Amino acid sequence: MRFASPQRIFVSVFIGLMATAVLPVTAATSSVEPLNAEQSDPRTLGWMQGFPPPVEKRITQPDSNFFSFPKLRWSVCHMRELLPTAAIPRAIDHYAPLPEALIASIDQLQFTPTGASTPISWHDSLAANYTDGLLVLHLGKVVYESYRGCLGPQQHHAAMSMTKSITGLLAEMLIAQGLLDESALVGQLIPALQDSAFANATVRQVMDMTTALQYSEDYADPTADIWQYSAAANPLPKPAGYQGPVGYFEYLMTVRAAGEHGKVFGYKTVNSDVLGWVLATVTGKPYHQLVSELLWQPLGMQQDAYVTVDGLGTPFAGGGISATLRDLGRLGQALLDATLGKPGVITPELARSIQAGGDQAAFADGFSSLTGGSYRSMWWVFHNPHQAFAARGVHGQTIYIDPTADMVIVRFASHPVASNSANDATSLPAYQALAEFLMQQNSD
């Protein structure tokens, strides 16, 4: 290990956890039953309540364990208080309203989770998956909205690896504008990466994560590369004797190749940060400014977002954004509208390119809960009858877009298990059941 203190280790654990949307289903899990959603609610536990909070109820930085369960149920709504960030400004003169047509009966909707024999209600599934907030848009209107745990309508929540999908979307927009060539070699765009594994990878291979890298994100392995990556990115001062890379960019220069690019999908967060570096290089603008100028301002977001940064101020393009539930709903709705052929900030051609998905053969050994799926431009494509696709992040984050049902679901959560395999068995059938319910409502 390269760390001198527990504080550094746990901060790195946090950064690593933010980095990945789905961990392998074989990842080790605790045999101890975690607190349920009600028991672990940060209001119930009293985290950070009082003036000042009692010592035993404080969650601070660098006290090492702010992202351990159940503290993470408070931390996901308070990233700006724990780590340095850069702002993603909205437009100051307007925002896009979201019309409402709430459907109270959604809470009573019944569905059967994958592998189960007993139905569960939509309402009960929210607690089962430690949901902090959930928004449903149907036909462009809010039909369901719920806030729990640490979250309120004006509160930001960590998007985790849904950040990757925003990064991929930005790349697609720059390609459409002719500012980025998806066939260009990364080493030609960023000379500093000429000696790395990314030198002869194309931008498209980075976007679809079909790069062949000597890099492990096995969180159960204390010698895995993710820990060195996290140590480099750690915004706190490095411990005495540290000799590793400093910052995301410096670490990316050290990644070596392991095979031929373009053959097999491999979910590795370093791809997203390389892509963020590419976007900044070809535009001459930092990542957070691009998110603001290309998405947050033109889409009429209601509140600023923010993104965590490393010790050099480099934004974490692989998992650092925090935003509000409704603003991610606006993003999802813009993509849905484009998929349905409606012109706007996101073009129909761009949205359909993402929706079409990536190489399913390359994805074949991917994730058991996403069998038959693919990955394109850092979006997860299900290839199901409804042609759904999604942004996903650890602990249950999602923007789920169902073009057939004209539906967008945005969920923030703080599930005790990072891997989405822990909640997909409930979540994915719930989304499909709601899509069918809403389609029936529309036809009546």
Q: Kindly list the catalytic residues.
A: 161
Pairwise CA distance, residues 264 & 419, whole Å: 21
Q: Which amino acid is at 176?
A: A
Reported in sequence order, the residue ranges of 263-365 that DSSP labels E, i.e. its strands, are 305-308, 321-323
Calculate the alpha carbon distances from 337 to 106, 165, 181, 244, 436 in Å.
23, 17, 25, 46, 19
Pairwise CA distance, residues 234 & 245, whole Å: 11
Pairwise CA distance, residues 427 & 419, whole Å: 13
Calculate the alpha carbon distances from 108 to 6, 104, 125, 137, 379 in Å.
46, 8, 11, 18, 30
Pairwise CA distance, residues 165 & 272, whole Å: 9
Beta carbons within 8 Å of 14's beta carbon, 6+ residues apart: 66, 67
Cβ count within 10 A of residue 274 = 31
**Is the distance from CB of 75 to CB of 67 less than 8 angstroms?**
yes
Pairwise CA distance, residues 376 & 354, whole Å: 6
Helices (H), 197-324: 203-207, 225-233, 247-252, 270-283, 287-291
**Is the distance from CB of 382 to CB of 373 less than 8 angstroms?**
yes
Bridge partners for 144 per DSSP: 136
**Is the distance from CB of 333 to CB of 136 less than 8 angstroms?**
no
**Pairing between β-strand 321-323 and β-strand 374-376 as defined by DSSP bridges:** unpaired
